């Protein structure tokens, strides 16, 4: 049976590079089976470049004849952007709506609520994997890894929650080390490490920030010290992609939702819950 033709969509991708003037980036229209493919294709056109904003392409950006599904990248000149920050892989601000993240920078802040204490950190694309893994490595214990395939991943009807058995930090690090780019850099995946002794969670959020959440203030001093060691300073204000309209995307070469679920099952995680959109945390 013949394989059905791939459906490709077009996106505008702004790509910064070391020689770009402040507030300017090269603009491309690029197509892909998903947004991550289009971002990767556009970024490859610029030596030493990195993506800084994205949006859906305009009809006028798309070359004639592309209805047959032929992939391509079209140079559109340059464009204004609010920042050249190297966003963590998996998220980008919306092109033209990014003024609110002009002050984006690596750092952490604290959020104190009656029921929850949070330390939230963000670093650039080059260091996100290392930040998350290094914090796991420093925890006094780690009991389970949760992987959430969010409902917007391939426009699914629900969020699927996968969980390891009771393990330890070493096993969690080994698993993530084998799947780091696909899971940590996936804008439709959220990861949580449960630390039962501290009644706490270390989470890589859907916005690719790293958050320590606890009912008390367990390991507050230690977390702040570890972040400083990892060159993530305390900052105010703390700005992340969630402060503006933005997009989530998956890495260019990542698996489909079904195939990723099969891989999680093969790695002995089990699906423990299916959450409908109304109950899915954002």
**CA distance readout (Å), 111 to 49, 116, 138, 213, 221:** 34, 8, 22, 9, 14
- 10 and 62 Cβ atoms separated by less than 8 Å: yes
pLDDT at 68: 45
pLDDT at 64: 77
Distance CA 137, CA 197 (A): 16
pLDDT at 280: 44
pLDDT at 29: 97
Q: What is the CA radius of gyration of the chain?
A: 19
pTM of the model: 0.93
pLDDT averaged per 10 residues, the chain (length 282) = 70 97 97 96 97 96 65 90 98 97 97 94 98 97 97 96 97 97 97 95 98 94 97 97 98 96 98 81 46
């Amino acid at each position: 049976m013949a394989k059905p033709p791939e459906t490709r969509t077009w996106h505008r991708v702004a790509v910064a590079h070391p020689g770009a003037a402040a507030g300017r980036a090269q603009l491309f229209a690029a197509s892909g089976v998903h947004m991550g493919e289009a971002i990767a294709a556009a970024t490859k056109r610029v030596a030493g470049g990195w993506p800084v904003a994205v949006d859906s392409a305009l009809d006028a950006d798309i070359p004639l004849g592309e209805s047959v599904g032929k992939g391509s990248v079209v140079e559109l000149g340059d464009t204004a952007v609010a920042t050249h920050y190297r966003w963590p892989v998996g998220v980008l601000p919306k092109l033209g709506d990014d003024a609110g993240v002009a002050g984006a920078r690596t750092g952490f802040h604290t959020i104190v609520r009656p029921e929850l204490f949070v330390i939230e950190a963000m670093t650039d694309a080059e260091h996100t994997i290392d930040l998350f893994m290094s914090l796991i490595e420093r925890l006094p214990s780690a009991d389970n890894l949760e992987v959430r395939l969010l409902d917007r991943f391939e426009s699914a009807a629900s969020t699927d929650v996968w969980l390891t058995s009771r393990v330890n930090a070493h096993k969690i690090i080994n698993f993530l080390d084998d799947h780091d780019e696909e899971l940590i850099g996936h804008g439709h995946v959220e990861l949580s490490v449960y630390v039962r002794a501290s009644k706490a969670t270390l989470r890589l959020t859907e916005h690719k920030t790293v958050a320590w959440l606890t009912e008390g203030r367990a390991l507050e001093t230690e977390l702040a010290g570890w972040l400083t060691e990892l060159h993530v300073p305390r900052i105010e204000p703390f700005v992340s992609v969630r402060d503006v309209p933005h997009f989530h995307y998956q890495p260019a070469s990542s698996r489909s939702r079904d195939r990723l679920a099969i891989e999680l099952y093969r790695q002995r995680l089990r699906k423990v819950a299916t959450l409908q959109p109304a109950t899915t945390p954002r």
